[in-house]
Amino acid sequence: MMTSKTHGFMPLQSLTQIETALDRLSPRGYMVGYHVRFSRPVRRICTYPGDWLAAYTRQNMIVADPSVVWAVLQEGTIRWDDLAEQIGDPINVIPTAAEYGLHFGVTLSCGPASSRSMMGAARSDRNFTDAEITKMYDLLVQGHDILARSTAMRPILVEALDAIACGMTYEQACAHLGISRTALRYRLHTARNVLGAEENSEAILKAIDLGLLNSNTYSGFVKGLPFSPSSTDT
């Protein structure tokens, strides 16, 4: 297993450049999920073969995939050869992947557990070299950092949106957060500006898409609970 976090490569300028480089490094495909929050990635790219993805989905392999389990628990990198020994592979995900041409692979992860970026990459001909793995890890970290900057929002703004998403009126949200109505309106206004939204409801949907809010707490909006004039005040 490699766990080096030193990055000696020239930074790339965009996610498109990063993902093009990852594609070149992964002849049999790769999958990356950036900033997995509440079990949802902010951005997901997958270039694995379609027949393998169909089998993986049909058999619900994600629930016991040692690559996913390892990435949730660890930061760093590990070749698939070592996964079974460390994590176990009760439903034979790795051997089944080999049947579809993914004979060799590597798993990579970076970032805190609450917003982790994870990646898997595969080859059919040989194991990835240490240099290739280091390069992929560097690219993963670059993508993670780019999206961290673009999706950053202060916790107090997220809390204000979350209160409204749960169906609270402005009065209820103020009591819940322990702030004045003026402060709540300012926080919601700032959150809308950060997210590029005109209305609170639009800001909430964007925050969910970015993984800033848990869609399971969005019950007030989804169930159609009333948004009184005071709760949509801008």
Residue 5 pLDDT > 50: no
pLDDT of res. 143:
92
Band the pLDDT of 120: cuts 50, 70, 90.
very high
Phi, psi of 89 (to 5 degrees): -140, 75
Higher-scoring residue by pLDDT: 198, 227:
198
Asked if 15-150 and 155-232 have one fold, the answer is: no
CATH topology of domain 155-232: Arc Repressor Mutant, subunit A (1.10.10)
Percentage above 70 pLDDT, the chain:
86
Q: How many residues does the chain have?
A: 234
Q: Residue 126 and residue 115: Cα distance in Å, rounded?
A: 31
Q: Residue 78 and residue 74: Cα distance in Å, rounded?
A: 10
Identify which of 121, 113, 119 has the alpha carbon closest to the alpha carbon of residue 141.
119
Band the pLDDT of 217: cuts 50, 70, 90.
low
Residue 202 pLDDT > 60: yes
Residue 221 pLDDT > 50: no
Residue 230 pLDDT > 80: no
Lowest mean pLDDT among 3-7, 19-23, 65-69, 95-99: 3-7
pLDDT of res. 88:
92
Q: Residue 80 and residue 138: Cα distance in Å, rounded?
A: 19
Q: pLDDT tens across 62-102, in order?
A: 999 999 999 999 999 999 999 988 999 999 999 999 999 99
Angle at 210 between CA 204 and CA 211, to 5 degrees: 90
pLDDT of res. 234:
43
What CATH number matches the domain at 15-150, 3.30.450.80, 3.50.50.60, 3.10.20.310, 3.90.226.10? 3.30.450.80
* Domain locations along the chain: 15-150, 155-232
Q: Mean pLDDT score of the chain, rounded to an integer?
A: 86
Q: pLDDT tens across 160-185, in order?
A: 999 999 999 999 999 999 999 999 99
Give the number of C-alpha atoms closer than 13 A to the C-alpha of residue 3, restricted to the C-beta side. Answer: 5
Contacts of 24 (CB under 8 A, 6+ apart): none
